[in-house]
Structure 1
């Protein structure tokens, strides 16, 4: 049972506004005492390193794993790990790409190309899929105990036996559960292993349990092709190997091929595309490949030839600099737009951070030249290489944190405690019980006079002029940027302000150019906001939604504690990308509450948006009232004028630090962990290391550990 501690992080009020400065009332789920210390005394005290989708720290990617040209970050990992098992045609067969254009109808290709296609498709494709996953049985044996493994095998072939006696597909009510499997990584391994060994089965996750069912798509496909082909195709589909293709056996019956094309496009058209290639014996091979992702290829104006966009990936190191500010500077130096940069998330300002980025229209050579020029200017560029697509927000496994907490002391009301014991107790409690998954203060512009969520609310209320003026509200310092902002608010002279602003303030300059052209009025401000890249515009709206989420989770814990109650939301189906987020949400029933079926770490709170489902208890009522206070309705998250849509999403109440470790240091860096109890003096510091899931904040985790504002 979690223990709850309450503390209001700030009760101050904005002058004249009546709005609390704080973005949430800090709630703790652990009952330890904690301790006091300083973080971010120096940027190097807070080192953040992104972990890519393959579990690699982005500043430690081996150079021999980087693709020489083309290829994505996922390509690089796979090429290092299983190049010999990749299911693909030889690179010496470009004709296949040339002929793979139209969505339906047959095409003709030279016999030498046809031979390659048929040979790869008929003789090797199924074999290579099996080879690539030949160890899945061993995986099942290692992940499941013998009894469950045998029961799964019996269930699988009972399904096949039922199908053998039926001529039409049926929806089977029969299911087999593997029981609770808490770790998502283990569940993911089991999903893949089961579907590779038994492609005629489908798997889903229900409340932490993997449930196995008959795969109706397999049975329907078996009415059109052989069982071996159906099995091979579904294994190919589940493997999702980039650049891979699958070929069915040659088929001389055009009407039959049409049925196969129609079935594949109807069932799997969002994932794959199909094409027919004739052979010399007047038979035709149906070839399947995964659809290209948006932005991968771009058609030129000359004919129908396709030209690949230039994408260059790199690791950005920055110190004491905002991510968007770094992008603005790089775009200015490279002569491209800020929107040409893509990244997986925003990183802390007062820190040393490493993150993956991709820039369009810039070659690796040019980026390397810039890296040499800017070296030592709080920016660094490394791991520069060509890729074939942009990054997406959230396309990472998490972030690793290496943090120094300086000047350790006991809390002022903890007169008789032992500092070493307080630290040990805090670490162990948070390892076990986790922390409330608040958005951290840096999400809202920590220490700024105007927070990003205030701009977001003005945009949502379509108060465009107000949003612009909030955007240009200066800080208390008297540097050139703040002087220019003060001048703009006093004079509304966009042209004069432009002359005062440094070149690297790209966002401000783009907005001012539009205001100079269209004027400081409602329509002019809309044009100003539209001049800023979409990712930057929506950043402000997301900040507002994050603030509301923080308040909602505080209200939820204050109202219900850590008990799971009727009307709470949990994810019902995981590891199924075909489901929309709302389809995965389950509302807790009174029977489930009585049975204690779910725990607090499974409960999710919605991020406000037009398509999310809200809790049906007091938390849902709170959302209605809270949004109404800001002049918003539940569905008021579409802004056509600004080309912004916020469907919303879901976020777990609790999160846990992974691989949490720590050691005591003298302020000169000497490790003191091995012995001694003399930790009361403030000369001691604490070195803490852990990693968090995406969109989790280390300052929030540390706040739970230390029980103090950070």
Structure 2
């Protein structure tokens, strides 16, 4: 697909898993053509988070809010050209390892959740899915005997790994329960779930048990409205009997769209015993930090630009905001955020101001801590591709067949897991990875000049940058620099104060939030990863060879998250390409023990990083590195093709 403003230097070595011809098209004609919705660590879209807002602390009367955001529907406007709208989930695992395998195909209706892929191997997934299907079959059959006892998932000595598997299984199969004997993990049918299904639908029971397992702070769960008091009483008794120590349930009345009063049962987690006494002891002696979580919707704004507006309106620093990831600028995006030192009531006061700047704030609620980069499961994308054409204009193959072939191949074969163009920027003379390299080499003045390096075309931003390069007059450049260029203005203010020397430039970089400073270094490491992926695929293709790094739970431990493939394992085809990872450079990772590892060494040496520790003490930056799977598989991928007044959906 065609994109605008990309640097050929970053993407001229791309490789492809499939050999289909594909098609041409344009994306991001407008922000509404590219909608990104973050998926939190519990697998929920951040537009569907449910929260509790307390009117008074410890008060039994709480304001229960259910806010489901409806992302703007980008309307298809097909004229003589075809338009395709795609939607899919691209998932990560704990922000560190990407999911590795396609959906397990089974005759059963169940579809294993992506949460399982990073924590158990394919054979265990298949056994677990079959066991789960058998449980469903037994429960749904009036004559079948319930002789399903338990299923072993294997030995897992590491406690943290067991915890991940417990959560992944229960979120995927809420009608199963997990338990441990010594270091061996087992699953068995959840009889409490079966009992609840006698009072509610399976859909409600699924959601309720996922809610219980997730234990999200300030979250709540509401059953469907229920006019039968006797039935509500039965549900109350069930919850109190089975989970009374963990949660409390209350009936709330609310009016529907017709003004009729409806009653529903809402469940929330109880406060831990002793927590209120602890607050009273510390009250007045130690001030507790206040954190407020919310979902930020932004339209055609950079993340830092949005944070700058919000911090100015709230009277706090940009560094008081935390988030799981930076989202695209030319797009409509929804992401979770947390702001420190701001109450929910204060945040609500600026809702009208934020909307004027292209932002909307949703799901405001209290939380206890900030977010970390990578603290998400993935993102849901809704993308419109316009002006669809065949690569060969004279081709007799219709565009519909081209798209069907492309979608099928992506679903079944996956794609190489490259970092996208937004990671590197659109600058012609300088891109984000160039700045990251300068920061790693601690060339602070060079890094500042690279960020302020103008492109060849004229506009207010490039005119201001050109003035700075010629004069190094930070104050004069500030007067010329447009107000929406937030990071440039932050640097310029610091340089105007501290000077354009090494110390002044260090202070200038420190004036930016930590997430922005580390972003540039991540951009450089991402460029290295992309090139390594292309080199490895060109050299070995889809074959797993000796020296490759693979994720292998049987051999991994807390000190060695990856395994190096041996000659015997290559010969016996012990691993698949789905398990192969490549490292993002950093101080805590290991490199492949084959030609790919040698390539990393030579590539870093060429740019002067042969002895780099990936720690920049002066900027408070530490880069441990991580591992990223070579192949990726989308989930829930579908498309809709529109041309003139006809449409096809697949």
* Superposed pair shares fold, TM > 0.5: yes
Please name the residue that 1:601 is paired with: 578
In the superposition, relative to structure 1, how do residues 381 and 537 fare at CA in structure 2: closer, same or farther (>3 Å)? same
In the superposition, relative to structure 1, how do residues 571 and 327 fare at CA in structure 2: closer, same or farther (>3 Å)? same
- The Cα shift of 1:513 comes to 2.9
8 A contact 2:419–2:530 mirrored in 1: yes
8 A contact 1:459–1:467 mirrored in 2: yes
- From 112, 132, 135, the equivalent of 1:142 is 132
8 A contact 1:465–1:520 mirrored in 2: yes
- From 581, 603, 623, the equivalent of 1:626 is 603
Please name the residue that 1:365 is paired with: 345
Please name the residue that 2:19 is paired with: 31
In 2, Cα distance between equivalents of 1:33 and 1:398: 28
CA deviations over 1:225-262 (Å, ceiling 9, x no partner):
xxxxxxxxxxxxx9785789xxxxxxxxxxxxxxxxxx
8 A contact 2:17–2:414 mirrored in 1: yes
- The Cα shift of 1:450 comes to 1.6
Please name the residue that 2:54 is paired with: 68
Mapping 1:99-118, distance limit 5 Å: none
- The Cα shift of 1:466 comes to 0.6
- The Cα shift of 1:56 comes to 2.5
- From 182, 193, 196, the equivalent of 1:201 is 182
8 A contact 1:8–1:26 mirrored in 2: no
- The TM-score normalised by the length of structure 1 is 0.61
Q: Counterpart of 2:334 in 1: which secondary structure? A: strand
In 2, Cα distance between equivalents of 1:8 and 1:589: 41
- The Cα shift of 1:41 comes to 1.3
CA deviations over 1:426-464 (Å, ceiling 9, x no partner):
111110000000001110003553210000001111111
Structure 2: segments with no counterpart, 5+ residues: 67-127, 139-145, 158-163, 188-211, 219-271
Q: Counterpart of 1:663 in 2: which secondary structure? A: strand
In the superposition, relative to structure 1, how do residues 55 and 151 fare at CA in structure 2: closer, same or farther (>3 Å)? closer
Corresponding position: 1:422 with 2:402: yes
Please name the residue that 2:229 is paired with: none
In the superposition, relative to structure 1, how do residues 496 and 652 fare at CA in structure 2: closer, same or farther (>3 Å)? same
- The Cα shift of 1:184 comes to 8.2
- The Cα shift of 1:522 comes to 1.6
- The Cα shift of 1:498 comes to 2.8
- From 368, 376, 390, the equivalent of 1:396 is 376
- The Cα shift of 1:55 comes to 2.7
Corresponding position: 1:443 with 2:420: no
Larger radius of gyration: 1
Corresponding position: 1:646 with 2:636: no
In the superposition, relative to structure 1, how do residues 479 and 174 fare at CA in structure 2: closer, same or farther (>3 Å)? closer
In 2, Cα distance between equivalents of 1:70 and 1:29: 57
Q: Counterpart of 2:330 in 1: which secondary structure? A: coil
In the superposition, relative to structure 1, how do residues 643 and 190 fare at CA in structure 2: closer, same or farther (>3 Å)? closer
In the superposition, relative to structure 1, how do residues 23 and 155 fare at CA in structure 2: closer, same or farther (>3 Å)? closer
Please name the residue that 1:658 is paired with: 635
8 A contact 2:436–2:521 mirrored in 1: yes
Q: Counterpart of 2:495 in 1: which secondary structure? A: helix
Corresponding position: 1:456 with 2:431: no
In 1, Cα distance between equivalents of 2:625 and 2:582: 11
8 A contact 1:312–1:362 mirrored in 2: yes
- From 548, 551, 569, the equivalent of 1:592 is 569
- The Cα shift of 1:332 comes to 2.4
8 A contact 1:143–1:190 mirrored in 2: no
Please name the residue that 2:45 is paired with: 57
In 2, Cα distance between equivalents of 1:495 and 1:465: 17
Deviates more, 1:494-503 or 1:632-641: 494-503
Please name the residue that 2:478 is paired with: 498
In the superposition, relative to structure 1, how do residues 380 and 477 fare at CA in structure 2: closer, same or farther (>3 Å)? farther
- The Cα shift of 1:365 comes to 2.7
In the superposition, relative to structure 1, how do residues 197 and 311 fare at CA in structure 2: closer, same or farther (>3 Å)? closer
- From 29, 32, 55, the equivalent of 1:41 is 29
CA deviations over 1:588-645 (Å, ceiling 9, x no partner):
1111111111111110000001110100010000000000001002653111121111
Mapping 1:62-211, distance limit 5 Å: 62=50, 65-68=51-54, 142=132, 188-189=169-170, 198-203=179-184
- The Cα shift of 1:357 comes to 1.1
CA deviations over 1:168-197 (Å, ceiling 9, x no partner):
xxxxx9999xxxxxx989963499999976
In 2, Cα distance between equivalents of 1:28 and 1:591: 28
- The Cα shift of 1:36 comes to 1.3
In 1, Cα distance between equivalents of 2:147 and 2:609: 56
Please name the residue that 1:515 is paired with: 495
Please name the residue that 1:552 is paired with: 532
Q: Counterpart of 1:583 in 2: which secondary structure? A: coil
In 2, Cα distance between equivalents of 1:612 and 1:194: 38
Please name the residue that 1:533 is paired with: 513
8 A contact 1:325–1:505 mirrored in 2: yes
In 2, Cα distance between equivalents of 1:513 and 1:308: 32
Corresponding position: 1:384 with 2:364: yes
Q: Counterpart of 1:651 in 2: which secondary structure? A: strand
Please name the residue that 1:672 is paired with: 647
8 A contact 2:642–2:648 mirrored in 1: yes
8 A contact 1:315–1:382 mirrored in 2: yes
- The RMSD of aligned alpha carbons is 4.4
Deviates more, 1:612-621 or 1:360-369: 360-369
In 2, Cα distance between equivalents of 1:575 and 1:47: 40
8 A contact 1:37–1:409 mirrored in 2: yes
In 2, Cα distance between equivalents of 1:531 and 1:439: 27
Structure 1: segments with no counterpart, 5+ residues: 1-6, 15-19, 81-137, 157-172, 177-182, 205-209, 212-237, 245-288, 675-687, 689-710
8 A contact 1:637–1:646 mirrored in 2: yes
Q: Counterpart of 1:21 in 2: which secondary structure? A: helix
Q: Counterpart of 1:459 in 2: which secondary structure? A: helix
Corresponding position: 1:405 with 2:382: no
Please name the residue that 2:331 is paired with: 351
Q: Counterpart of 1:318 in 2: which secondary structure? A: strand
In 2, Cα distance between equivalents of 1:317 and 1:399: 14
In 2, Cα distance between equivalents of 1:525 and 1:412: 51
Please name the residue that 1:327 is paired with: 307
In 2, Cα distance between equivalents of 1:402 and 1:417: 26
Mapping 1:224-239, distance limit 5 Å: none
Mapping 1:230-309, distance limit 5 Å: 241=215, 305-309=285-289
8 A contact 1:329–1:505 mirrored in 2: no
- The Cα shift of 1:413 comes to 6.5
In 1, Cα distance between equivalents of 2:561 and 2:56: 36
Deviates more, 1:527-536 or 1:461-470: 527-536
In 1, Cα distance between equivalents of 2:56 and 2:545: 51
In 1, Cα distance between equivalents of 2:150 and 2:439: 57
8 A contact 1:314–1:385 mirrored in 2: yes
CA deviations over 1:524-563 (Å, ceiling 9, x no partner):
2112112222111111000000000000000000110110
In the superposition, relative to structure 1, how do residues 575 and 144 fare at CA in structure 2: closer, same or farther (>3 Å)? farther
- The Cα shift of 1:480 comes to 3.7
- The Cα shift of 1:497 comes to 2.2
Deviates more, 1:373-382 or 1:389-398: 373-382
